[in-house]
Amino acid sequence: MNLFSIGISHHTASVEVREKMWLSEAEAREILPRLREQYFSECMLVSTCNRTELYGMILPGTTVTERELTEFLIGFKKADPEVQPQHFTACEAGAAVHQIFRVAAGTDSMVLGDIQILNQVKEAFGLAREVGATGPVMNRLMQATLHVGKRVRSETGICEGAVSVSYAAVELASKIFSDLSKKSALLIGAGETGELTLKHLVGKGIGGVRIANRTREKAETLAAAFSGTVVDYDSIADTVAAVDIVITSVTGPTFVLGPEELHRVMRKRANAPLFIIDIGVPRNVDPASRKIENVFLYDIDSLNTVIDRNLDRRKAEIPKVTAILHEETEDFFDWYNSLQVTPTIKDLRDAFENIRTQEVQKNIQRFRAEDRELLDIVTKQIVNKLLHQPMTVLRAGSASNNGRDETLLRVHTVRELFGIGRRVKGADDGA
């Protein structure tokens, strides 16, 4: 199988290197037709913050090296000398199929069980199809890849449980308040983690959000993004009394909230539950506040405990995911093998017929005119007898559910022996 993959990821390069190879939508639209014209009969690109990977079917009859493709990609991004060939890894055939399946399943992500990557793969395929870079094999591969992602998410727990500070905070809030749509939240500070926590809360349908920040302009920007309300930083305690969830993300040497303020707040709230997520470093809320009835205070350490527990649960699901990937890889090659057997038989017959024709024409003058027709008939019969056994074996393997690996090996061997198509030099072998 002449499927080939090459890419750079968090496994092989730092973020400073990876970002040099990130492709915007406009760049992907530009490079895909060029890749198809020069190297591939069909191809697609997946480019995210953690990876840029190219998948393609090498053009029949051509030979492409890893280095050639690597230099092409680096050159397109003008990323030399920061990005070097050693930052890339390549694989071929079954290994390439398995790689795209692992990406879609979230087992190759920086965050195990990443739930966003499947949609990113889907969007990447949609773009490749839109610019005319895909074909029958890539279309089928992407159909199988999306099916893998959906199976993994529905049949395993690899994506369950928060594994980021921001999402862990929201997961805990959901356990304390069963219906977030009837609750409101206050974000104190406008740091990145606080903003992500607010984003997740809004995604979970929080009833309303208020934002307080020392720099009011930044608070107004966040409020506009999340349909929130800006409140004065100096009147935080009054606002805390009016909300159900407080997220603190402030950098400073002193506590933003302590037991005295929270005692007053709880009296104003008639002791209604208050959920506080302190993601500040140093901490923004005095730990003694935990002693106050109905004040649920969680800091970074508390959230990391939740994250570690969830990661352990995700890791325990890896064997189930691996079984799905193996099954889906075999199913894909069942389809591909059936696709390859017929053209391989035709190519093999054509190769033998070309040799027969050339030799007959080269030696035709050595035979009498009345024997030349017989020469043509006899040589055709010889070719047919020579081809009968290999063609029978190829067809039989294609029809057998148990012969997928054997069939692929036979197809590959025939193509190698008789020079039918070329492979990429330097890539890892796969099934």
Coil vs helix vs strand at 101 = helix
The number of beta carbons lying within 10 Å of the beta carbon of residue 419 is 10
Q: What tokens were used for 418?
A: 């008789």
- DSSP line for 339-396: HHHHHHHHHHHHHHHHHHHHHHHHHGGGS-HHHHHHHHHHHHHHHHHHHHHHHHHHHH
Q: What tokens were used for 360?
A: 């007959």
CB-count burial class (<10 Å; 0-12, 13-18, 19+) for 10:
middle
Whether the CB-CB separation of 397 and 414 falls below 8 Å is answered with no
The number of beta carbons lying within 10 Å of the beta carbon of residue 105 is 28
Query: Which residues, in sequence order, are bridge partners of residue 184?
Result: 208
The residue from 43, 49, 91, 159 that is catalytic is 49
Whether the CB-CB separation of 47 and 22 falls below 8 Å is answered with yes
Whether the CB-CB separation of 406 and 68 falls below 8 Å is answered with no
Coil vs helix vs strand at 185 = strand
Query: Chain centroid to CA 172: how far?
Result: 28
Query: Quick one: DSSP state of residue 285?
Result: B
Whether the CB-CB separation of 53 and 46 falls below 8 Å is answered with yes
What is the crossing angle of helices 25-38 and 117-130, to 10°?
A: 60
Q: What tokens were used for 119?
A: 């949609």
Amino acid at 173: A
The number of beta carbons lying within 10 Å of the beta carbon of residue 132 is 11
91 is known as an active-site residue? no
Whether the CB-CB separation of 252 and 233 falls below 8 Å is answered with no
Instruction: Indicate which residues carry an active-site annotation.
Output: 49
